[in-house]
Structure 1
Amino acid sequence: MTTPWLRVPTDLAAAMRPRLPVTVQAIAAAVAEANPAFAETTGAKVDRDLRTAVEVALDRFLDLAGTDEPALPPRIREVFVALGAAEARENRGPELLLGALRTAARLLLRSASQSLAGSRPVTVEEIIDLSDATSAFVDELASACTDGLARQLREQAGEGDRRRRRAADLLLRGGAPADVAREAVTAIGWPTLDRVVPVLLPTDQARDARFRFATDGVVAERAGDAVLLLRAGPRAERPVLAEALAGRDAVVGPGLPWTEVPEAVRLAERAAELVGTGPAAVFVEDHFAALALRGEPGALAALSTRRLAALADAKPGQREQLLTTLESWLRHWGSRSAVAAELYVHPQTVSYRLNRLRELLGPDLDDPTVRFELLLVLSQRPGASSARRSPDGSATRGGPAV
């Protein structure tokens, strides 16, 4: 099978080479102007690389005229393979390069035709042969560029996978120094390292999770399951996860500081043992109380943080008064007189504190489940029992209501 450039007039090189420097500059300038993305990467090196690529391509095309040689010998092909790889390293796809090559092809045909016409008459058949040859030659350049881009992307994907595995292992193992952990997540594109939400999934869901949460999560495969670790953000919010994980037998652990990822994963494992899995995602936060009653200190701590968050900004002394009053009020089923007697304060003081608690906790105080969880948390906090004793140390009225 003959090559398209075998039919290119052999006197093309002699006619065009004297104009080659001007032609190189014109094509390089036209490529940059026709592709706005090049304007964003202007600079001495970019301009030099562009001119070099155009010069190498034109020089090779002239050498091919009237021959049946392969379009690109290895040393020249590697120039364009490297060009494609450089585009991938700049996080650009093939569109920019392919657009540049289309522009170059049109200008190459125009310049070749004008060069021949300047030395002798040119036939229609010769123009057609030039058009076929330039199109085929530029296709070879495009193939080399896309090959380089694909190679670089494969290499980056492999390195990216390694970095993601390292980040997942560090978080799951726990105990990593802060600077080491932050360096690991920065390498995979996480802007910060704050709270992390673990999700337990069947092993056959690992690949899909990597695809769905590529920028926000890392996946570690274990012996019997897979763990997706999501950085805190919109995609880790409960409504979003409930929809994304429907039908996937998922267990969503609590969002805890990154240093507590092992504990969050443990709570997810215990929740899976307690309630199993099903079509709807299981959220561990719905089972904190049950886990705490089964002796999981991490569940009690997470439940305390969740239920008492509204009081976190109160002054220590005021916070302690409010918590003591709330615990007593819950145990006494809302009897203000009983709370006043137990705490040795005036009933109006109790009313003031309860009004303040309602401002902070809102309608949660009327929710039976929340009230039970509050009582569980408050009854287990350090020093909780001291509120039930009189100043002389004797026990007061009103034992626990649970």
Structure 2
Amino acid sequence: MDTPWQRLPSDLAAAMRPRLPEAVQAIAGAVGENAPESAGAKFRRDAYTAVRVALDRFADLAGTAEPALPPPIREVFVALGAAEARENRGPELLLGALRTAARMLLRTASQSLAEVRPVTVDELIDLADATSAYVDELAAACTDGLARQLREQAGEGDRRRRRVADLLLRGGAPPEVLREAVTGIGWPAPDTVVPVLLPPDQARDARFRFGADGVVAERGRDAVLLLRAGPRAERAALTEALQGRDAVVGPALGWAEVPQAVRLAEGTLELAGTGAEPVFTDDHFAALALRGEPGALAVLSARRLAPLAALRAGQREQLLVTLESWLRHWGSRTAVAAELYVHPQTVSYRLNRLRDLLGDDLDDPGARFELLLVLAYRTGPAGRVVGRLGVGSAAASEDPPREA
């Protein structure tokens, strides 16, 4: 099969050779001028080398049936495309440069030939065909290099993401090891993580849908999506994104507690199953705790008692003992006062403090049940006695004067 450059006149190479240094400078200069400032000096140096190699090869091809780019020359343009991928640029810059080079190559070739003899219309058509076909070969090599590099980077990125998922799921990784791993996938630092259990056939879709915000581990029986804290990990966003996906969303915990968060999600799956709507572990802590699920009471305690965390230890203990008694006595201040040996107004003062801290939770039946569960777990029967014994002296120093 004839090549487009086989039809070129045999005297084209001799006509072009003296003009090549000037043509290389002109074409490389035009390519550099059309490139954005962000392309940098390296792109311009690489472009100059590529233009020189391309023009030398084109002159050698005239009148031959050789392939456009033998392996050593093709690798120059493959490397050029790969370099663009490493700079996180697409093919647009290279393809624009090649279009510029194609126009100027045709002008250089036709002018070189015209300087030594008249040029026919057929020869100009052959020149246009040959330069177009030749630049297509250059473009194919560049895009091949770009695609190769992107595949390599994607493979390395996948490896890094798998490592982050493995470190989080296994737990116990030193902070510096995990920090280095998450930095390698673009996460700013180890942070709160939300685990999502999904059917195993949804692993690929989860990687695509959540992109850089999550990593996915495939475990055979299921897939675990680990989402970093952020807008896409919030309940409203997950409710919308996970519709109809048989998903169970575990609690948002620190990176070191991911194994525990996954276990709680697994317990939720056993307890509540799945459906069209995503199931949230946050809605099942009390049931998990009553089933003896490890960690459920600890997480529930941390969440329910978080508003009191900033108080002094003695003050916090007073309020918690009062709250537990108030919940057990169905809100009877008289009964609470009698049990704690304090004045009813002291009970009122403490409850007002609790309402400031806990807000509407004191009026929500579900929240009240969880608070009672947490407080019973916190003290136990023996702890409750100790709490009562210590209230009198603390009340004298921290509560307001009692009304007569």
Same fold judged by TM-score > 0.5? yes
Aligned partners of 1:343 and 1:388 also within 8 Å = no
Determine the structure 2 residue equivalent to 1:255.
Answer: 252
Aligned partners of 1:105 and 1:135 also within 8 Å = yes
Determine the structure 1 residue equivalent to 2:176.
Answer: 179
Determine the structure 2 residue equivalent to 1:337.
Answer: 334
Aligned partners of 2:318 and 2:391 also within 8 Å = no
Matches within 5 A, 1:118-129: 118-129=115-126
Aligned partners of 1:198 and 1:265 also within 8 Å = yes
Q: Over residues 116-135 of structure 1, what are the superposed CA-to-partner deviations in whole Å (9 max), with x where a residue is unaligned? A: 33333333222221111111
The letter for the 2-side match of 1:250 is A
Aligned partners of 2:217 and 2:223 also within 8 Å = yes
Q: Over residues 288-319 of structure 1, what are the superposed CA-to-partner deviations in whole Å (9 max), with x where a residue is unaligned? A: 00001111241111111222222222333332
Determine the structure 1 residue equivalent to 2:212.
Answer: 215
Matches within 5 A, 1:2-401: 2-36=2-36, 39-43=37-41, 45-382=42-379, 384-386=383-385, 389-390=388-389
**How far is 1:325 from its partner?**
2.1
Q: What's the secondary structure of 2:251's corresponding residue?
A: coil
Aligned partners of 2:196 and 2:248 also within 8 Å = yes
Q: Which of 325-334 and 128-137 deviates more?
A: 325-334
**How far is 1:73 from its partner?**
0.7
The letter for the 1-side match of 2:308 is L
Partners of 2:232 and 2:308 lie apart in 1 by: 27
Q: Over residues 353-393 of structure 1, what are the superposed CA-to-partner deviations in whole Å (9 max), with x where a residue is unaligned? A: 22222222222211111111111111211475136645799
| Structure 2 length-normalised TM | 0.91
Partners of 1:390 and 1:222 lie apart in 2 by: 52
What is the RMSD of the two structures over their aligned residues, measured on CA atoms? 2.0
| Structure 1 length-normalised TM | 0.92
Unaligned 5+ runs, structure 1: 394-402
Partners of 2:294 and 2:71 lie apart in 1 by: 65
Aligned partners of 1:324 and 1:387 also within 8 Å = no
How many residues were matched structurally? 390
Q: What's the secondary structure of 2:39's corresponding residue?
A: coil
Q: Over residues 72-94 of structure 1, what are the superposed CA-to-partner deviations in whole Å (9 max), with x where a residue is unaligned? A: 01110111111111122222222
Aligned partners of 2:321 and 2:388 also within 8 Å = no
Q: Which of 82-91 and 306-315 deviates more?
A: 306-315
**How far is 1:265 from its partner?**
0.8
Q: Residues 376 and 96 from structure 1, CA distance in 2 versus in 1: closer, same or farther, beyond 3 angstroms?
A: same
Aligned partners of 1:13 and 1:63 also within 8 Å = yes
The letter for the 1-side match of 2:97 is A
Partners of 2:307 and 2:50 lie apart in 1 by: 64
Aligned partners of 1:342 and 1:388 also within 8 Å = no
Partners of 1:13 and 1:205 lie apart in 2 by: 59
